[in-house]
């Protein structure tokens, strides 16, 4: 079980809201004084919806998932009762953003807002934050970059093709893309505010390599765990 922060329960799943997530919401509100509190609420709701999508899919594999919300990202950790296939792992990874996108579109539809008409979306602050926190963030999570869900799918595919090096290739690819984006955002004044986020994402991508070098073993958060008790859980992150 996750330790250090008391867990709530939502739809039967333990959920931990870590201080980093609260700090992230505070930054969102400070950065956007007018609409920040609405954005923070939307991010919280859709982050939970996203992770519940992962947790529900993992439960169907027989696991007992645990959800945590932290700085910039949430995660759903689960230990499969048996070795899972790359397709099953991809299914769990995709389930989170899929639910987030679908429910976001449904809410916008109920509000009679066309999600493909951007000017109409931003006619309403509420519709705007729902559009960003739901469908937009959901689609971004499908990009094949770790630690996004699309990156977990990419890593699973590469590891099934190249078991010994696939995970490292996925990390290297993700880091290269993020570094390139970071350089562009730093050089372009209009989007320079995104550069710190690219740097933080780059740190998250490189971090799994540190224990690998220290212990001389392959331990990736996204690698399927063996079925025996005490195995390291799989983590699907936003």
Non-local (6+) Cβ contacts of 68 within 8 A are: 2, 5, 15, 16, 17, 18, 74, 75, 76, 77
Edge-first strand listing for the sheet containing 66-70: 8-10, 13-17, 66-70, 73-78, 234-237
* pTM, full prediction: 0.78
pLDDT of res. 231: 37
The 3-state DSSP class for residue 20 equals helix
Q: Is the pLDDT of residue 52 over 90?
A: yes
Q: How many CA atoms lie within 13 A of 8 on its CB side?
A: 9
134-160 mean pLDDT: 89
CB 219 within 8 A of CB 212: yes
As to burial, measured by CB atoms within 10 angstroms (0-12 exposed, 13-18 middle, 19+ buried), residue 193 is: exposed
65: left (phi over 0), alpha (psi -120 to 50) or beta: beta
Q: What is the pLDDT of residues 154-200, one digit of tens each?
A: 888 888 888 888 888 888 888 888 888 888 888 888 777 677 777 87
Is the backbone peptide bond immediately before 139 cis, with ω within 30 degrees of 0?
A: no
144-159 mean pLDDT: 87
Q: Which two tokens stand for residue 20?
A: 């980093």
Alpha carbon distances (Å) from 91 to 43, 88, 159, 204, 227: 23, 5, 16, 23, 18
Domain boundaries, the chain: 8-237
Q: What is the pLDDT of residues 53-82, one digit of tens each?
A: 999 999 999 999 999 998 877 899 999 999
CB 141 within 8 A of CB 238: yes
What's the CA gap between 50 and 76, in Å, rounded? Answer: 10
The 3-state DSSP class for residue 18 equals coil
Alpha carbon distances (Å) from 113 to 110, 131, 135, 137, 171: 8, 10, 13, 18, 38
pLDDT of res. 222: 36
């Amino acid at each position: 079980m996750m330790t250090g922060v008391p867990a709530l329960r939502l739809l039967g799943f333990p959920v931990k809201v870590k201080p980093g997530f609260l700090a992230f919401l505070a930054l969102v509100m400070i950065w956007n004084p007018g609409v920040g509190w609405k954005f923070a609420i939307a991010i919280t709701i859709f982050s939970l919806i996203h992770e519940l999508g992962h947790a529900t899919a993992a439960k169907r594999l027989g696991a007992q998932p645990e959800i945590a919300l932290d700085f910039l990202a949430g995660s759903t950790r689960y230990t499969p009762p048996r070795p899972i296939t790359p397709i099953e792992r991809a299914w769990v990874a995709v389930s989170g953003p899929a639910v987030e996108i679908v429910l976001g579109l449904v809410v916008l539809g109920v509000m009679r807002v066309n999600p493909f008409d951007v000017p109409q979306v931003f006619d309403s602050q509420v519709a705007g934050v729902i559009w960003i926190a739901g469908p937009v963030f959901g689609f971004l999570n499908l990009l094949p970059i770790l630690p996004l869900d699309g990156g977990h799918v990419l890593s699973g595919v590469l590891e099934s093709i190249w078991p010994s090096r696939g995970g490292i290739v996925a990390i290297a690819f993700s880091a290269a893309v993020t570094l390139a984006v970071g350089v562009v955002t730093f050089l372009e004044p209009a989007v320079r505010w995104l550069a710190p986020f690219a740097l933080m994402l780059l740190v998250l991508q490189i971090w799994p390599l540190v224990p690998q070098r220290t212990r001389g073993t392959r331990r990736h958060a996204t690698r399927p765990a063996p079925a025996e008790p005490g195995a390291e859980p799989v983590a699907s992150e936003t």
